[in-house]
Amino acid sequence: MTSRKRAAVVVAAGALVWREREGRLEVLLIHRPRYDDWSWPKGKLDRGEAVPVAAVREVAEETGLDVALGVPLPMLRYRVSGGRTKEVYYWAATELPEDSPARAARAPVARSEDEVDELRWVTPRKAAKMLSRKSDRKPLKALVALREAGRLATGTVVVVRHASARSRAAWDGTEALRPLTSSGAKQADGIVPVLAAYGVAAVVTSPWERCAATVAPYAKASGIVPEPLEALTEDGHAAKPGRVRKLAKAHYLAAAARAGVALCTHRPVLPTLLEPIDEIAPGWVKRARPRKDPYLRPASIAVVHTAGAGDEARVVGFEVQSASA
């Protein structure tokens, strides 16, 4: 796509916030007085803002709720004024527990009562009738289908590639101490709200400097104490790749039963962390996950959403995100 065409695309993000009350599914609709319409909480990205970060910020601004993003829902694309195309990215989302470390890692957001004058929890059937834009029923239909299949309540494993580091050629120290570059340090700061968007509550990392420094800003902001794991280093992986594969599989199988976890590692380790996904994923996920070197760019993440646990665990969502738009 040319830069001229890309400039014509307006990108927005939001979420379908859901809950269960007495066994009944409810979703949250907002009323915007400016347009006199009922819709999902959403809004345009701020400059340089990552799409998932915009989604949770917009939900907070329009509803006052701090949410964690779950499985991605269908993106909507339509024309807006001036002939431009608007793309709106949606996730299923639930409110974060009060004690979630991800809350502490987020910048304060003030609710904008001028934009939204009413919130209403309704059943999906009522939501479908109330929504002003017919296309907004598409992500709702997907959310209902997930719930009917028992795959709406999900857990998240976030695989993180460390931020940009000094090149091996320019570093005369040990590999374990090779540091981030100045741009890498900025990337590490930028990944904080991205991890918070997915409700990450635990961090497991290679203890080598470039990984430890990548997760340090999130650890500081959230109050989490990262767990260093030698198996996630390049040397540890080279010696016992089977241990890394077993670790990854254990996290995927247990993800839905606990809060989100981030695994920070190095490029050579990434394929071994991602391969176990294939055992519990549908074909589209197998095709979507990175399979070629370098797998992920520095400071990028692979987000694996799973439903069920143990033998019932299945990957129901997969996405790749970075620290900025």
pLDDT tens-digit readout, 206-264: 999 999 999 999 999 999 999 999 999 999 999 999 999 999 999 999 998 888 999 99
Domain ranges in the chain? 3-148, 154-322
* 154-322 maps to CATH 3.40.50.1240: yes
Helix (H) or strand (E) holding 71: strand 67-79
Number of helices followed by number of strands (H, E) in the chain: 11, 13
Q: Are strands 154-161 and 37-39 parallel, antiparallel or unpaired?
A: unpaired
pLDDT tens-digit readout, 125-184: 999 999 999 999 999 999 999 999 999 999 999 999 999 999 999 999 999 999 999 999
* 3-148 maps to CATH 3.20.20.150: no
pTM: 0.94
Q: Which two tokens stand for residue 297?
A: 């760019």
Q: Are strands 9-21 and 85-95 parallel, antiparallel or unpaired?
A: parallel
Interatomic CA distance for residues 241 and 243, integer angstroms: 5
